[in-house]
Structure 1
Amino acid sequence: MLTETAYAKINLALHVRRRREDGYHELETLFAFVDDGDRLSASPSGTDSLATHGEFAGSLDDPFGNIVARSLNTLPHGKGWAVELEKRLPVAAGLGGGSADAGAVFRMVERAHGLPANWREKAAKLGADVPACVLSTTCVGTGTGTDLAPVANDLAGTAVLLVNPRAAVPTGPVFKAWDGRDRGAMPTGSVRQIALAGRNDLEAPAIEICPVIAEVLAALRATDPFLARMSGSGATCFALYDTEAQLHAAAEKLAETHGQWWQMTGKLR
């Protein structure tokens, strides 16, 4: 049996530069990954099958037509695989949950059979975040997010708290609500420098659609992180801390004051 973690994706910075004629947006983003997420396992089988369980399994509209099944259809992996998906990440949450699941499938196929030379193209067809999620390492994404470049990672091992107010925020409406203003290029430098000097241009439109995001950010910033920001198109927000003690104190505080919110703790990969 193969097992793999679908690492939660966060955008340490996300700069939206312009709307393209093809309907997509030109982006500059700093991808990072948390050392926890959904969990997948796969065993050889006569045909492909997918069983889902876990806290957020009920949020998947069609588990048999979802991105895990489509990833299996994209890649050669023998006669078939029986896949189990423990859905631990909220859906439509800015964590790349479905893309992370697809990335985990790609990594399992790579270990068992190797990946085709054009795997990046296949991954990009499944979703803009999927190529980054296959790698699950900190990197800079440009274009629609599929053009990836390495970056000096000085935040590996950083304590991180993820918080979602249990509100699903579909990506499309948030991008549509972006005001179209180019606020400038993403800065260069190390991961820490980019993260601290960067921003998330989707934060304001996401808060318009889902105002509780502002409450999450305020609650996180009250725990004294060195950075708190929304990830992707929301509604999940993250906070980075200098020490694990700060992280656990923050997690306990938010569990007491906002026990209804989902949270996950971990470290940046």
Structure 2
Amino acid sequence: MNETAFAKINLALHVRRRRADGYHELETLFAFVDDGDRLSVTPAAADRLTTHGAFAGMIGDPFGNIVGKALSALPREEGWAVALDKRLPVAAGLGGGSADAGAVFRMVDRRQGLPADWQARAARLGADVPACVLSTTCIGTGTGTDLAPVDSDLAGTPVLLVNPRVGVPTGPVFQAWDGRDRGAMPSFEATGSVRAMALAGRNDLEAPAIAICPPVAQVLAALADTGPFLARMSGSGATCFALYDGSEALHAAAEAVARRQPGWWLMTGRLR
């Protein structure tokens, strides 16, 4: 089997409060790009994982990583040899590891079906994993694991992902959040469309991420110069995205950013 681990972006991410359990109460609008890491599976006597690709070197112990944990989380009748082509940067706000785990869940579903409690099993691996299993536009609340899929008028929208090749760990960014509740994310019912929700939303982690990783501000400025209808940081950074009204605008933007900052990582695609 082969599966793409679709890159996750947060079209909006509102942090409402710190919870007593140490996590944060969130409201987020998940969307997914039609590209990402690639996984392939063949039967094996026992589970094993091999990695290759541009960012494989950033993964340590393969079975200490989330793909190994996803394999252990789901009962199967046979072992799997998984090859992971790591094309997404690590600690980048794209849910790369969570997307890889989501791809494992989808392959298990295709092979034999998922257990009834798959969402709880996915949530134990990480807050983004349940959304990454679905890999469709959805609203996430709680810690991001309570999901409500929505029909998206942004499906097929050209998107440019840019990362300054600097990893930003999630924990310190959340710890640096100032604790101020800046208000709820606009509802789908009130706005009538995912595009309107995204435009009226924000990412409350942009400021703390920029304080920790100043290049995020440079990426946002570079994207703003390319004329998108929306440019924003994804998750806790450092990757930022820009959405365009047409393919020509997307390709012109990608070429302009690549000329301006040849060392940055770029990926183009469309929203699913």
Q: Which amino acid aligns with 1:90?
A: P
Matched, 1:52 2:51: yes
TM-score by length of 2: 0.98
What is the CA distance between 1:61 and its match in structure 2? 2.3
CA distance in 1: counterparts of 2:15 and 2:110, whole angstroms? 35
Name 1:79's counterpart in structure 2. 78
> Aligned equivalents of 1:144 and 1:55: distance in 2?
30
Letter of the structure 2 residue corresponding to residue 158 of structure 1:
T
Correspondence 1:206 to 2:205: no
Q: Deviations over 1:95-129 (max 9, x none)?
A: 00000000000000000011000000000000000
| Residue number in structure 2 paired with 1:253 | 256
Per the alignment, residue 112 of structure 2 pairs with 113
Equivalent residue, structure 2, for 1:31: 30
Q: Does the Cα contact within 8 Å between 1:77 and 1:112 map onto a contact in 2?
A: no
1:235 paired residue among 211, 235, 238: 238
CA deviations on 1:173-202 (whole Å, 9 max, x unpaired) are: 000000000000000132101100000000
Bigger shift: residues 144-153 or 90-99:
144-153
Q: Quick one: which amino acid aligns to residue 143 of structure 2?
A: T
CA distance in 1, matches of 2:102, 2:149: 18
Q: C-alpha separation between the residues in 2 aligned to 1:264 and 1:77? A: 34
SS in 1 for 2:62: coil
Can you list the C-alpha shifts for 1:107-163, whole angstroms capped at 9, x where unaligned? 000000110000000000000000000000000000000000022310000000000
Write the distance in 2 (CA, Å) between the matches of 1:5 and 1:117: 23
Q: With structure 1 as the length reference, what TM-score do the two structures score? A: 0.99
Tell me which residue corresponds to 1:41: 40
SS at match of 1:27: strand
Paired with 1:150 and 1:254, the residues of 2 have a C-alpha distance of 33
Unaligned runs of 5+ in 2: none
Distance 2:24 2:60 in 1: 26
State the distance in 1 between where 2:94 and 2:159 align.
13
Q: Give unpaired runs (5+ residues) of structure 1.
A: none
Report how far residue 64 of structure 1 moved: 2.1
Which residues of 2 match residues 173-192 of structure 1 at below 5 A? Answer: 173-189=172-188, 190-192=193-195
Match of 1:263 among 248, 254, 266: 266
Q: Distance in 2 between matches of 1:154 and 1:77?
A: 37
Q: Tell me if the contact between 1:206 and 1:234 (Cα under 8 Å) persists in the aligned partners.
A: yes
Which residue number corresponds to residue 88 of structure 2? 89
Matched, 1:197 2:200: yes
Give the alignment partner of residue 218 of structure 1, picking from 221, 229, 245: 221
Q: How does 1:161-180 map to 2 (within 5 A)?
A: 161-180=160-179
Instruction: Give the Cα–Cα distance (whole angstroms) in 2 for the partners of residues 137 and 85 of structure 1.
Output: 22
Which amino acid in 2 is paired with 1:249?
A: A
Aligned residue-pair number: 268
Distance in 2, matches of 1:22 and 1:117, equals: 26
User: Matched residues in 2 for 1:27 and 1:62: separation?
Assistant: 31
Question: In the alignment, which residue of structure 1 is the partner of 2:138?
Answer: 139
Q: Deviations over 1:206-225 (max 9, x none)?
A: 00000010000000000000
**Superposed, which structure 2 residues align to 1:58-77 within 5 Å?**
58-77=57-76
Which amino acid in the other structure matches residue 87 of structure 2? R
Aligned-residue offset at 1:79: 2.4
Task: State the 1:62 CA deviation.
Answer: 1.9
RMSD across aligned positions (CA): 0.5
| AA at the equivalent of 1:14 | L
Give percent identity, aligned residues only.
76
